[in-house]
Chains A and B, each alone.
Chain A
């Protein structure tokens, strides 16, 4: 049963990382413009100031 001492924390940490990642994306307004994001991949990249942001 000792294995549980490793497995449970590992499971919880992985889940927690996912949760924190999601909360981080939310905080950074990554879901603000879903339509725009899907269109933006079509824009050819140039050396713009845009990239620096």
Chain B
């Protein structure tokens, strides 16, 4: 592995994150061009794109720069030195866009490829369906006498010419899936679909050759077209989760400064070994789990615990990969190599949970399990009946048997779920709720337990000022605070709307607070032992910072992470729905107890670690009741994955959001209730859809069995049953306003 040596100078020690070396990750193509892909944050308008692209284009050697706004990726290609990659990263981050490496080899290729295959199939089957209809309408509305034998034959041959390649091409997703599941001696919805499509095509071809009447190409291709759309929507929803886990690990794909033989060496993070000594500058992400050897600092744990308040860390304290060093440079000794540090473990836990989760059988698959044998047996008996007992030749008998398969219309069955899902998606999206997994609604409708995280879920997740203060004190504090980005400072600024004072010489004392001068007096805002060292009494529950005005006064500002405004109502509503709420928190017992009692929740557990949380859920699952987990921190991610269905607020970390089945926006918790109600309604509609398909089949199958079905009847029956199913699904939106 390539390692780049740099001299041991102090300046490097203090720089923020940019000193990472990206050159080891540059890829070289056969034409000797270098390329690299970065992940860039905060791109939100045309000028951002322009600024980044233009400032990189002005460099010599660079011949391709492309910002992808949707995926936040920046691709650069250049000739010459690999080292330029670091320069690019520096330029972009100095423009104000946080940059990191996007090192996710081939990870989305599978998903992207799958998506493209589906889109292409939709396009081809759509084209074929439209053109076939053009011809079929002509065929339906006339007969041999009116149209003439030759024209009719021409039309039928054109139909088969359009249909057969299209069916072979766009039916592949179903054929492959059916084959795979059959090889495992199982069955799903794709088996009857594939069988119906293949048999329909064969029989239609046979009829075309023999100048017959029973040509069902239009039905087959329409069926594929509708089902492919449903399938595409499904895939789109599923793809996201996997991507996120890998992206999180790629956050660890950078480099770290390791001290070897008293020299600083830049090493790719994946090559860090236990026992290495690493220097971490201010603002840098801690690359591995370890123990602090030198320095004392504060650490932003938000990635791991969702906790917004930074935590103090001194010599011999443990620090974790993925957290950010805030206030002073430190040296750590690595305790675990990258393969088994905390962050990697979280991802592993999640992957494990995802696997167990995928065992869930969806309603559609259950329906398929019942449907497939019944329909195929009906077809078989029809064939045997006509052939052996009604003395019909085997060809017409087979034809009748196949019309039974066609008329049973897996179309309505295939659409029953996706249509409801898409509509539910839309109606929820208007309320700022994003449904990400297909089966979330089905599981949500059966939920019996809701497990809630505290920080950031029940509460807003940021400190807000409590107590009352004089206007003057707030003014002084806000004037100092608005220079700082610390959560406490922001909270003070939010509270104060008046005019700020003109302070002089304002500076941030790292790890302590802000200081500045007003009319010659020294003002300090920050930690108690720094701004007001003489003050004593500690308080346990609230976080606080102190303001001191030289020789005048000392004021204490207290902060608390407050409950969301509607938390209590939502908990009451949850109980009304017959669901048991449980709080699982990593926080101290007193704090959790206070909140649980206030909300009237009897089951609460405090000081739970990541593993304990997901273990708790695993045990609860043994009762065979559906569990909903609501959480926002990275520490909740494994639990979110473990639970049957999960919701997280959009303020949560990317990885958590991506793990969750549902993400909601806004300050309120009420979306949880909306989700559950929409889910119940959706599942009801899905069941009605299946019921309709069954009733329809009770009428249609006997008709097909006695041989009364013609292509026109089949087409009408197929579209009308699909329309009924779609129409019924739309009732979801009619009553939307009630929720």
- Which of B43-51, B202-210, B258-266, B358-366 contacts the other chain? B43-51
Chain B residue, CB-CB nearest to A52: B63
Distance between Cα atoms of A50 and B66 in the complex (Å): 9
Instruction: Decide: B124 and A40 in contact? CB cutoff 8 A.
Output: no
Task: Using known A-B contacts A11-B134, A34-B70, determine if residue A23 contacts B53 with beta carbons closer than 8 Å.
Answer: no
Distance between Cα atoms of A35 and B46 in the complex (Å): 10
Q: Indicate if B341 sits at the interface (CB-CB under 8 A).
A: no
Distance between Cα atoms of A41 and B70 in the complex (Å): 15
Instruction: Decide: A36 and B70 in contact? CB cutoff 8 A.
Output: yes
**Least Cβ distance of A20 to chain B in Å?**
10
Instruction: Decide: B123 and A23 in contact? CB cutoff 8 A.
Output: yes
Chain B positions within 8 Å of A49 at CB level: 57, 63
Distance between Cα atoms of A26 and B151 in the complex (Å): 37
**Least Cβ distance of B58 to chain A in Å?**
10
Distance between Cα atoms of A43 and B45 in the complex (Å): 10
Closest 9 A/B residue pairs (Cβ): A36-B69, A42-B46, A39-B46, A33-B68, A19-B127, A35-B69, A35-B70, A43-B50, A33-B70
Residue total for A at the interface (Cβ-Cβ under 8 A): 26
**Least Cβ distance of B236 to chain A in Å?**
13
Instruction: Decide: B57 and A50 in contact? CB cutoff 8 A.
Output: yes
**Least Cβ distance of B729 to chain A in Å?**
27
Contact of B57 among A19, A33, A48 (CB under 8 A): A48
Consensus secondary structure, chain A interface: helix
Distance between Cα atoms of A8 and B50 in the complex (Å): 48
Chain A positions within 8 Å of B50 at CB level: 43
Instruction: Decide: A23 and B120 in contact? CB cutoff 8 A.
Output: yes
Residue total for B at the interface (Cβ-Cβ under 8 A): 31
Chain B positions within 8 Å of A19 at CB level: 123-124, 127
Q: Indicate if B691 sits at the interface (CB-CB under 8 A).
A: no
Contact of A12 among B65, B119, B162 (CB under 8 A): B162
Instruction: Decide: B67 and A36 in contact? CB cutoff 8 A.
Output: yes
Q: Indicate if B116 sits at the interface (CB-CB under 8 A).
A: yes
Contact of B131 among A4, A15, A22, A42 (CB under 8 A): A15
Instruction: Decide: A32 and B70 in contact? CB cutoff 8 A.
Output: yes
Distance between Cα atoms of A17 and B151 in the complex (Å): 25
Instruction: Decide: A4 and B154 in contact? CB cutoff 8 A.
Output: yes
Q: Indicate if B130 sits at the interface (CB-CB under 8 A).
A: yes
Q: Indicate if B148 sits at the interface (CB-CB under 8 A).
A: yes
Instruction: Decide: B68 and A32 in contact? CB cutoff 8 A.
Output: yes
* Residues of B40-99 contacting chain A, CB below 8 A: 45-47, 49-50, 53-54, 57, 63-65, 67-71
Instruction: Decide: A26 and B119 in contact? CB cutoff 8 A.
Output: yes
Instruction: Decide: A26 and B116 in contact? CB cutoff 8 A.
Output: yes
Distance between Cα atoms of A53 and B616 in the complex (Å): 56
Q: Indicate if B158 sits at the interface (CB-CB under 8 A).
A: yes
Distance between Cα atoms of A16 and B63 in the complex (Å): 36
Chain B residue, CB-CB nearest to A19: B127
Instruction: Decide: B131 and A11 in contact? CB cutoff 8 A.
Output: yes
Instruction: Decide: A16 and B127 in contact? CB cutoff 8 A.
Output: yes
Task: Using known A-B contacts A33-B68, A50-B57, determine if residue A39 contacts B49 with beta carbons closer than 8 Å.
Answer: yes
Task: Using known A-B contacts A4-B154, A16-B127, determine if residue A36 contacts B49 with beta carbons closer than 8 Å.
Answer: yes
Q: List 17 A-B contacts (CB under 8 A).
A: A4-B154, A12-B131, A15-B127, A15-B130, A19-B124, A19-B127, A26-B116, A32-B71, A34-B70, A36-B49, A39-B49, A40-B49, A42-B45, A43-B47, A43-B50, A49-B63, A50-B65
**Least Cβ distance of B413 to chain A in Å?**
28
Encoded as 1 (CB less than 8 Å from any A CB) or 0, chain B from 108 to 124 comes to 00000000100110011
Chain B residue, CB-CB nearest to A34: B70
Chain A residue, CB-CB nearest to B119: A26
Chain B residue, CB-CB nearest to A16: B127
Instruction: Decide: B54 and A4 in contact? CB cutoff 8 A.
Output: no
Besides A33-B70, A39-B49, 8 new A-B residue pairs in contact (Cβ under 8 A), listed by A number: A4-B154, A32-B71, A33-B69, A33-B71, A39-B46, A43-B49, A49-B63, A50-B53
Distance between Cα atoms of A42 and B47 in the complex (Å): 8
* Residues of B102-149 contacting chain A, CB below 8 A: 116, 119-120, 123-124, 127, 130-131, 134-135, 148
Distance between Cα atoms of A53 and B62 in the complex (Å): 13
Chain A positions within 8 Å of B68 at CB level: 32-33, 36
**Least Cβ distance of A34 to chain B in Å?**
6
Chain A positions within 8 Å of B116 at CB level: 26
**Least Cβ distance of A38 to chain B in Å?**
9
Distance between Cα atoms of A36 and B123 in the complex (Å): 24
Chain A positions within 8 Å of B53 at CB level: 50
Chain B residue, CB-CB nearest to A14: B131
**Least Cβ distance of B574 to chain A in Å?**
36
Distance between Cα atoms of A3 and B151 in the complex (Å): 11
Distance between Cα atoms of A4 and B142 in the complex (Å): 15
Chain A residue, CB-CB nearest to B67: A36
Chain B residue, CB-CB nearest to A12: B131
**Least Cβ distance of B235 to chain A in Å?**
15
Chain B positions within 8 Å of A35 at CB level: 69-70
**Least Cβ distance of A35 to chain B in Å?**
4
Encoded as 1 (CB less than 8 Å from any A CB) or 0, chain B from 693 to 717 comes to 0000000000000000000000000
**Least Cβ distance of A33 to chain B in Å?**
4
Chain B positions within 8 Å of A26 at CB level: 116, 119-120, 123
Distance between Cα atoms of A53 and B57 in the complex (Å): 13
Chain A positions within 8 Å of B64 at CB level: 53
Distance between Cα atoms of A43 and B55 in the complex (Å): 14
Chain A positions within 8 Å of B46 at CB level: 39-43
Distance between Cα atoms of A22 and B53 in the complex (Å): 28
Chain A positions within 8 Å of B69 at CB level: 33, 35-36, 39
Chain A positions within 8 Å of B57 at CB level: 48-50
Instruction: Decide: A8 and B67 in contact? CB cutoff 8 A.
Output: no
Name the residue in B119, B131, B148 with the highest tally of chain A Cβ atoms < 10 Å from its Cβ: B131
Distance between Cα atoms of A33 and B40 in the complex (Å): 14
Chain B residue, CB-CB nearest to A31: B119
Distance between Cα atoms of A4 and B57 in the complex (Å): 56
Chain A residue, CB-CB nearest to B126: A19
Chain A positions within 8 Å of B127 at CB level: 15-16, 18-19
Distance between Cα atoms of A53 and B75 in the complex (Å): 14
Distance between Cα atoms of A36 and B45 in the complex (Å): 8
Instruction: Decide: A1 and B49 in contact? CB cutoff 8 A.
Output: no
Instruction: Decide: B54 and A1 in contact? CB cutoff 8 A.
Output: no
Distance between Cα atoms of A34 and B116 in the complex (Å): 16
Chain A residue, CB-CB nearest to B45: A39
**Least Cβ distance of A36 to chain B in Å?**
3
Contact of B54 among A22, A32, A39, A48 (CB under 8 A): A48
Chain B positions within 8 Å of A15 at CB level: 127, 130-131
Distance between Cα atoms of A42 and B131 in the complex (Å): 39
Distance between Cα atoms of A16 and B46 in the complex (Å): 36
Distance between Cα atoms of A26 and B88 in the complex (Å): 30
* Residues of B476-506 contacting chain A, CB below 8 A: none
**Least Cβ distance of A53 to chain B in Å?**
7
**Least Cβ distance of B385 to chain A in Å?**
40
Distance between Cα atoms of A33 and B72 in the complex (Å): 9
